[in-house]
Structure 1
Amino acid sequence: MNIRCFPYKTLNMKKIRKKYQWIDIGEDARRQYIDAQATFTAWEDARKAASEVRGGMYWKRQGETEYLIRTSPGNAQKSIGPRSEKTEQIYRNFTARKAEAEQRLADLTSALERQQRMNRALFVGRAPRILIDILNKLVKVGLSEYFTVIGTHSLYAYEAAAGVGFGEAAALATQDIDLLLDTRKRLSFITQMTTMGTSMLKLIQKVDPTFRIRDDQKYTAVNSKGFEVDIIRREPKDGDPHPLRLTDEDDEFYAVPARNAGLLLDGPRFSAMIIATTGHMARMNTISPAAFVRFKRWMAEQPDRDPMKRQRDILQANMVEELIVEYLPHLQQ
């Protein structure tokens, strides 16, 4: 197989004989996941609505005239216009919409906390808490659209959607999360990071202040417990800068080019709510299960692949393929 590409055709997933053991989470846990997912989805919508009315409006007198001023969360100010019937209506609509959005978000946040406790009580979640916290941090600061989770942690999204758990502990054994940066959006990413006045490392350190960039691997940050965050990118093309440093901050990630990462970037996506062992929830945006299978098989065929990693590639590919056939047949394409 050409080392620079792998086929994106439909997998040949005919009915296969079951080979792996799956963890049955039970009917109570499955019902709880469905209830928690409904609340979580409503909370996501409420959070988006509340974000659209962040900041405020007030009347400011200049000379003999009052002007309606719109303020941003960063306290930037913009004049809407002089006081009139039109601007008064704008003010009333905004304040009513803001109050309603904030109240709905507060109510759903309380409901989400109740679902979190139920998740924990019924042992619904399996993902590590730090994974949940990192994903939620990216959403909170508006960066989730620039990153796709790839690699072993994607399995938590697949098993959550299937309503079962992977029975092979070796398949989920990892101490790092791979975040694929969408370099096609690098200009807007840089603009947003500049506006926030921070670095990617500092954002990750808000999740765990012990994260540090590795001296020998500038695309990796590791915390005091050995958990790593890797920033991956596609191979340079279409004017991509190389090397690619995420911001101009002194201590910052460099995104490392990965073979065939561009195909994952352009390929089909998959999204699911995942739950930590603590009951906390987050949305994971990753690649489709079928793309995961193809990519892992391709990786296992590379002559320079570490033998132990090759064995895990094959195990993961086989398990996800069986998961699709048995539990997610609509995702075979």
Structure 2
Amino acid sequence: MLEIRPNVARQYIDAVSVFEAWEDAEREASQVRGGMYWHKGAPSAPEAVYLVRTSPKGAEKSLGPKTPETERTYARFLERKQLAQDRLTALAEKRKEHERMNRALRVGRVDPIVVKVLDRMTSSGLSDFFRVVGTHALYAYEAAAGVVVDDDAVATRDIDLLWDVRKRLHFATALARVDSSMIGLLRKVDKSFRIKDLDKYTAVNQDGFEVDILRREQQGEDPHPIRMSDDEDDFWVTQARKAHVLMDAPPFSAVVVASSGAMARMNTLHPLSFARFKRWMSGQGDRDPLKRRRDALQAEVVEAMVAQYLPQWQAGGAD
């Protein structure tokens, strides 16, 4: 485990500041998406003019007849919308600048397809329904710690996304706003993604990169089996042993950087919760011995990282 160079650290700090400002601007702009207009009355009552608020999907809501108050509401909305859009546009350009600088200084090393998937999930409003678990979580920890861990600890060609089955109804509503299926969403990132014939919880692209979608073991009224949408070609989410531990652990989030310089936010779990889970996995006799050794290595690496570089995370993360 090596500390990143000072110039790389400075660039990462500056890039994250811009990225987080862009996130704030995106949230602000989302509050004023859609529009407002004055709806004229029928020919028999042309003086009956109403202010109408429209949603991005075309839904409409009357805000009342034209009065000095609704005129002020209309003016404030237009001003706020313009300011939000101007700020978002400016920060989007700054984000692109920093992504170019990230690439020039080799700030990141995450596979670009991972960052593209995370970015698409965020822009589609789906990131809150998932946590990155497994090997790729180490990229979030090392980014926050300002270190680079040994390649042996992060070598993988798949990303594990833990889906919160408790939020399945809200997820279905959110997914329907942006696509008909989860596999359809992934194909907006890379059109070559296909669900594997034998592992319906896994999508693989033409380069062999895989996306696995996991869930906790069935509890209470959890449906099982469960497909992520009505699309017959979509993911069938697989149950993972003790996945409730990963879902219930305190959250951890960091901005990760791809080798291309692109950035995205990765939501995962408390690093010590991750380490404890990996310790447990390394002791499972029915698990592949090679994976068990890597589990133990990852637990050791994350524990050392927290002790040396992330002392603020030494509390919490209990089983």
Alignment TM-score > 0.5, same fold: yes
Alignment counterpart, residue 116 of structure 1, candidates 95, 99, 112: 99
> 1:159-189 CA deviation, whole Å, 9 max, x = no partner?
00011100x2111110111111111111111
Alignment counterpart, residue 259 of structure 2, candidates 277, 289, 308: 277
**Is contact 2:179-2:185 (8 Å) kept?**
no
Match of 2:68 in 1: 85
Alignment counterpart, residue 239 of structure 1, candidates 221, 245, 255: 221
Match of 2:7 in 1: 28
Q: How does 1:131-150 map to 2 (within 5 A)?
A: 131-150=114-133
1:250 is displaced (CA, Å) by 2.2
Task: Pick closer, same or farther for the CA change 1:195–1:124 going to 2, 3 Å.
Answer: closer
Match of 1:130 in 2: 113
SS of residue matched to 1:321 = helix
Alpha carbon RMSD of aligned pairs, Å? Answer: 1.0
Match of 1:54 in 2: 33
Output the CA distance in 2 between the equivalents of 1:276 and 1:190: 29
Q: How does 1:9-48 map to 2 (within 5 A)?
A: 22-48=1-27
> 1:112-148 CA deviation, whole Å, 9 max, x = no partner?
1111111111111111111110001011010010000
Task: Pick closer, same or farther for the CA change 1:197–1:228 going to 2, 3 Å.
Answer: closer
Q: How does 1:195-214 map to 2 (within 5 A)?
A: 195-214=177-196
> 1:79-112 CA deviation, whole Å, 9 max, x = no partner?
2221111211111111111000000000101111
Output the CA distance in 2 between the equivalents of 1:284 and 1:252: 23
SS of residue matched to 1:244 = coil
- The letter for the 2-side match of 1:36 is A
Output the CA distance in 2 between the equivalents of 1:192 and 1:283: 19
> Which stretch of structure 1 is more off in the superposition, 66-75 or 212-221?
66-75
1:67 is displaced (CA, Å) by 1.3
Task: Pick closer, same or farther for the CA change 1:61–1:39 going to 2, 3 Å.
Answer: same
Output the CA distance in 1 between the equivalents of 2:33 and 2:49: 22
Output the CA distance in 2 between the equivalents of 1:229 and 1:137: 14
Q: How many residues align?
A: 311
Output the CA distance in 1 between the equivalents of 2:228 and 2:241: 19
1:264 is displaced (CA, Å) by 1.1
Alignment counterpart, residue 288 of structure 1, candidates 261, 270, 279: 270
> 1:210-236 CA deviation, whole Å, 9 max, x = no partner?
000001011000000000001100011
Q: TM-score, normalised by structure 1?
A: 0.91
- The letter for the 1-side match of 2:22 is W
Which structure 1 residue ranges, 4+ long, deviate > 4 Å from structure 2? none
Match of 2:153 in 1: 171
Q: How does 1:248-259 map to 2 (within 5 A)?
A: 248-259=230-241
Q: Say which structure, 1 or 2, has more relative contact order (CA 8 Å, 6+ apart).
A: 1
**Is contact 2:40-2:50 (8 Å) kept?**
yes
**Is contact 2:53-2:62 (8 Å) kept?**
yes
1:60 is displaced (CA, Å) by 1.4
Q: TM-score, normalised by structure 2?
A: 0.95
Output the CA distance in 2 between the equivalents of 1:173 and 1:301: 20
SS of residue matched to 2:237 = strand
- Identity of matched residues, %: 52
Match of 1:320 in 2: 302
